[in-house]
Amino acid sequence: LTLWITRKEQLDSPHWKALSDKDNLQYRIISIADLTTSFDSISLSSELLPLLILYQHGGVWFNMDILFIRDLAPLLDQEWMSQGDCHETKSKRFTGPLMHFSRRSAYLCEMIKQASRVAAAGPSLYSHVYDQCIMNGVKPWTVLPWCYMDPSGCSTGVSRLYSLSELDKSKLLKAFVYHLRPFWKGYFYDPVYDYLTSRQTVY
């Protein structure tokens, strides 16, 4: 697990110090020069950063507001982006919390090159390149269904109650990741969070 930081001083954080003895956790300092070495005229942004890091190193990029439930290994034979929820539409695709791409991925290369031509990076850029792949007869990356990553996102998912039923727990444990949503706190955020963290294995 690699934690990307903007400056070394962030290692003084008490949160980092509490984790610094973990053998499976490391940090890397973001270097604009290193990340953009293969591209000309790239302006680094928070939305472009995941693409540049994955292009140089490959792997899974995830946001900090998720809890891992299961090993992602069965999903790593393909390149993919996760859906945000079951209401996702063509104009608002690829809003999920995870993406997986191989090092030097042709998809990432195209997205990074197109970044300067699309009004905004992030989902708008991803959708633009995805549609271009289809129009040119190129198989696009896989779209990972919302239920793999966010089982609380829809009415057919985990119930938005103060407590979890056994059915809710069963649904949760079949997902790979749970996407925390703080603005739902008081409805079902707390019981889901408490249940998953109570099962957490500390490595």
pLDDT category, 36, cuts 50, 70, 90?
A: confident
Three-class SS state of 61: strand
Both structure tokens of 94: 């690829």
Helix (H, G, I), strand (E, B) or coil at 4: strand
pLDDT surpassing 60 at residue 63: yes
- pLDDT band at residue 203, thresholds of 50, 70 and 90? very low
Amino acid letter, residue 184: W
Question: Own/partner pairs for 34-43, CB < 8 Å, 24+ apart?
Answer: 38/109, 39/112, 39/113, 41/116, 42/112, 42/115, 42/116, 43/116
- What's the rounded Cα separation, in Å, for the pair 18 and 15? 5
User: Measured between alpha carbons, how far is 151 from 79 in angstroms, rounded to an integer?
Assistant: 21
Q: Tell which wins on pLDDT, 139 or 39.
A: 139
Distance CA 13, CA 17 (A): 6
pLDDT band of 37, cuts 50, 70, 90: confident
How does pLDDT run across 150-196, given as a tens digit for each residue?
Answer: 666 565 555 544 566 776 778 788 889 887 766 544 444 557 777 88
Beta-carbon neighbour count of residue 124 at 10 Å? 15
Residue 61's alpha-carbon distances to 79, 131, 148, in angstroms, are 12, 22, 16
Predicted local distance difference test score (pLDDT) of residue 104:
96
More confident residue, 133 or 68: 133
Give me the residue spans of the domains in the chain: 2-61+96-143
Q: In which residue are the tokens 């393909």 written?
A: 78
Give the model's pLDDT for residue 135.
97
Q: Output the pLDDT for position 185.
A: 47
pLDDT-derived band of residue 143, with 50, 70 and 90 as boundaries?
very high
Q: What is the percent of the chain with per-residue pLDDT over 90, rounded to a whole number?
A: 29
